[in-house]
Structure 1
């Protein structure tokens, strides 16, 4: 029988008690019967006996029963107990009504708790604390804060429990202003030295992003406990300051505190975030020394740390040593193999998992998409849909990535329909993935329509996806138009500018490129190496090499990608001499060239007709830099020898190739032989070409008749 708390107190005014005969002996025997059932764990039976007896019981029995109802989430029994209490006790003590509210709160029945709270004839501070705590514990933070404000208006003084609950609610809703006011009240009422409230203040300031205030409060705690340390480590981790999180973790040992398992986990995650293998291994040593290696939370974090640092063997060793492997451990090691490119081994682990959840499925699918293994990813999607009904926004993003990868817009539209039917349209990650899918599949109209349907949900990533889609499909002018609209709604980021500068380069829009460059300078954007590379590329393609060189030389540091961009920019503008000078500067700065650099150098040698210098650079690739020449390098050397008329060098080079020359190579050799009168070599090239490509036969004829005598 379920009894609601709605009007129990009103029954006090209407109920007439009926006293049974021999009441003292009867009450004593009933009480004893109830206690006997409680000892045997039969709470439901005990409460049923109490509910059927029409006389009040000792307050201690009610208190004990409320406690047991709370511990067992026994909401029906709690309602019966409260009904009996308010019916047969003329004036129920406030502390018992508070226990009833507390029980309803722990059972998640906040309507019952609030109705009882509102109908109480009188309330004390405990009543307010209990109701506020009930709201806070069940995720109704705003109601908790409203009730706290009402409590203050009623002149009820809060205590430590009130402040702890309210600060927790402030942290959940990121209410910084109210947090500062409550902090002032904590000081005013003399609770500054309370370690629980100090830890709560550290927590709320950290969650609100004011980490300097959080650290100041932490340093003011006279005797921080293990929870205090865990909170400060966690908050540093959440703002992305992994270095300080690890530093605080080690400081904790110096001050002779033993970390919680979650503190170990947070420190290891911090190491993972910055690939700090050395510090992670030190923490691993402490874990082993303090016998935490069997803790599932810590072991999973250790596996994750080694995975992120690229030491899969150590991660697998920890996994294999676990006595009982839980779902988190299985998922961590499987995900590590998947994201490290070892999808075959990851799939073997996935198939061995005793249980799986949506995170496990997503991790395996993410491994396939990360390596662009679209066919395997597609098969896995179909398997997932057959084997499990679990799906979340991450799954949908990954499936949309697969649709984009295989350019299957029809499948993407089906996923769009699923998103609409199951209420995922408002999820920004899903929305952006859908926008990206339409763009990569070339359906720009659908991308634009969906973009405008996103309305309030779209963000900077959404704008970037739209701009990139139009720029990728050579609709650069429309991309620039969208950029002008974007400035009314969202602040552009460096990825936006990278996309726009590439669009300007594609349509040789120098004025637009200059405007974007000026916009960045005026608005204080950092010109990092990625943006400088985009600016250099844009200016070079727009024939403003001097601008490009200025941007390049102003860079505080230059990586090989930026050097390559400048080198190729000079090549495309026919300024091979500058390229050779840049190569000398590159060597002076100690930047090691890669295969792209050497392609640019060889192109510069072609521009300057430097056959001997090109030969030296080509040989230095393998001799000095251990770079194996690629097809494009061999093609450059053939072009260089052909343009310079070095037919003997060309013949020696083409006949010593470590592979059979391609049709394109033989065609270029044949043309050079015709131009320079190398009859025998030309006939050989024609014969080789005709064997490889009989559909297009070459016939040797001298183009320069003056060389007929040779």
Structure 2
């Protein structure tokens, strides 16, 4: 029995709802109903089923569906390639990728993302070169991953070349790309260009500010880092951590603890990195009582220290 267009939309909506809520049981029930009613599932609905299984980690179920499809489109291939790549099964993903009748930017980017996740950053960069040689235009998502590879490798020379490609393809205005450029230059230690990228951004996210603050803090320019920090209209845990760590690294342990107290007062959730820094600051200052309070908090696995810190 063929499903009419109304039914297809209804089933797709059900599958997406199950995916959004990570409701595996209900998603499998919908699939079982389709099989039980002997309904002929078209490519669009089948792709949604594959996506549902893949994103819930049910790789074998997703792959079985893909293998049984009498007809596939490029989205079918991309979904299953992305699934294998993100699971670290790069050999399987590459075999599928090489066997595709046609590839688009999503296909290439899926492989690049998988290589990045597996730490194969040089291979990811090499795949970008193949992509461009094949005449496929990279997207902002491609470049954010490639710039992450350059940052991980500390490869400033390649990062600069990628920056030129970003400009050539007119993608510099995307906030995600600008943030990736800023992060790459910051991680590679090019403060001047990082600042220039930051200054040129029409729209900045918290990540933009954090990258530059971290660069200044790690390079010993803690006053500049604090000045940027105070300029931010909104801050997250990373923002606070960057400055607290900067103070700690420069030996300003009391200032690190004072900023941690401010972090509490602003109701920002501390993480393990925050606590590691503050415990270190307590040890350096020989603040036993404050360190004991922090230790008690860590043991209880609370999300934030609720009692005021008492510092001598």
- Distance between the aligned counterparts of 1:164 and 1:340, measured in 2? 48
- Report the equivalent of 1:659: none
Distance of 1:278 and 1:356 partners within structure 2: 32
Distance 1:158 1:398 in 2: 55
For residues 155 and 397 of structure 1, the distance between their equivalents in structure 2, rounded to whole angstroms, comes to 58
Partner residue in 2 for 1:170: 53
1:182 aligns with 2:65: yes
Alignment-derived partner of residue 332 in structure 1 = 211
Q: Point out 4+ residue stretches in structure 1 off by more than 6 angstroms.
A: none
Distance verdict in 2 for CA 1:199–1:373, change over 3 Å: farther
Structure 1 residues 397, 160: CA separation in 2 closer, same or farther (over 3 Å shift)?
farther
Cα distance change on mapping 1:95 and 1:285 into 2, 3 Å = same
- Once the two structures are TM-superposed, the CA of residue 246 in structure 1 deviates from its matched residue by 1.1
Q: Deviations over 1:548-579 (max 9, x none)?
A: xxxxxxxxxxxxxxxxxxxxxxxxxxxxxxxx
2:307 aligns to what? Answer: none
Partners of 1:205 and 1:360 lie apart in 2 by 34
Aligned CA distance change for structure 1 residues 171 and 165 (closer, same or farther; 3 Å):
same
Residues 199-226 of structure 1: CA deviation (Å, up to 9, x unaligned)? 1011110122101111111222222222
* 2:271 alignment counterpart: 393
Larger radius of gyration: 1
Q: Deviations over 1:470-513 (max 9, x none)?
A: xxxxxxxxxxxxxxxxxxxxxxxxxxxxxxxxxxxxxxxxxxxx
Distance 2:46 2:284 in 1: 52
Name which of 132, 139, 145 aligns with 2:22.
Answer: 139
Name the counterpart of 2:310: none
Relative contact order (C-alpha < 8 Å, sep 6+): which is higher?
A: 2
2:293 maps to 1:378: no
Q: 8 Å contact 1:337–1:345 — kept in the other structure? A: yes
Q: Identify which of 133, 136, 139 aligns with 1:260.
A: 139
Aligned to 1:213: 92
SS of the aligned residue for 1:131 comes to helix
What is the CA–CA distance in structure 2 between the aligned matches of 1:219 and 1:131, rounded to whole Å?
33
Q: CA deviation at 1:323?
A: 3.0
1:225 matched to which residue of 2? 104
Corresponding position of 1:309: 188
Q: 1:403, 1:155 → 2: CA distance?
A: 67
What is the TM-score with the length of structure 1 in the denominator? 0.39
Output the CA distance in 1 between the equivalents of 2:269 and 2:123.
Answer: 36
Counterpart contact for 1:378–1:402, Cα < 8 Å: yes
How has the CA–CA distance of structure 1 residues 390 and 308 changed in structure 2, closer, same or farther, with 3 Å as cutoff? Answer: same
Q: How many angstroms does 1:340 deviate by?
A: 2.8
- Say whether 1:362 aligns with 2:241: yes
Measure the CA separation in 2 of the matches of 1:217 and 1:247.
Answer: 18
Partner residue, 1:276: 155
SS at match of 2:119: coil
Task: Give the Cα separation in 1 of the matches to 2:63 and 2:80.
Answer: 9
Deviates more, 1:317-326 or 1:205-214: 317-326
Question: Does the 8 A contact of 1:202 with 1:218 survive in 2?
Answer: yes
Instruction: Tell me the equivalent position of 1:204.
Output: 83
Note if contact 1:141-1:172 (Cα within 8 Å) is conserved in structure 2.
no
Contact 2:88–2:117 under 8 Å retained in 1: no
Q: Provide the secondary structure at the position in 2 that maps to 1:337.
A: helix
Give me the whole-angstrom Cα distance separating, in 2, the residues matched to 1:407 and 1:155.
73
Secondary structure, aligned partner of 1:229: helix
CA 1:421–1:204: 2 relative to 1, 3 Å: same
Counterpart check, 1:151 vs 2:27: no
Cα deviation, residue 131, structure 1: 1.1
Matches of 1:232 and 1:364, distance apart in 2: 36
Aligned length: 301
* Shift in CA distance, 164/364, structure 1 to aligned 2, threshold 3 Å: farther
| Alpha-carbon distance between aligned partners in 2 of 1:199 and 1:292, rounded to the nearest angstrom | 23
The 1:379–1:161 alpha-carbon spacing in structure 2 relative to 1, beyond 3 Å, is same
**Mapped contact 2:248–2:277 kept (Cα < 8 A):** yes
Contact 2:214-2:243 within 8 A present in 1 as well: yes
The residue that corresponds to 2:309 in the other structure is none
Instruction: Map 1:308-457 to 2 at 5 A.
Output: 308-371=187-250, 373-386=252-265, 388-394=266-272, 395-406=274-285, 408-418=287-297, 423=302
Asked if 1 retains the 8 angstrom alpha-carbon contact of 2:86 and 2:113, the reply is no
Deviation at 1:153? 4.2
Select which of 195, 205, 211 maps to 2:74: 195
CA deviation profile, 1:585-638 (whole Å, cap 9, x unmatched): xxxxxxxxxxxxxxxxxxxxxxxxxxxxxxxxxxxxxxxxxxxxxxxxxxxxxx
Q: Are residues 1:240 and 2:119 paired?
A: yes
Aligned mates of 2:39, 2:277 — CA distance in 1? 53
1:347 positional shift: 1.3
Cα distance in 1, alignment partners of residues 243 and 188 from structure 2:
19
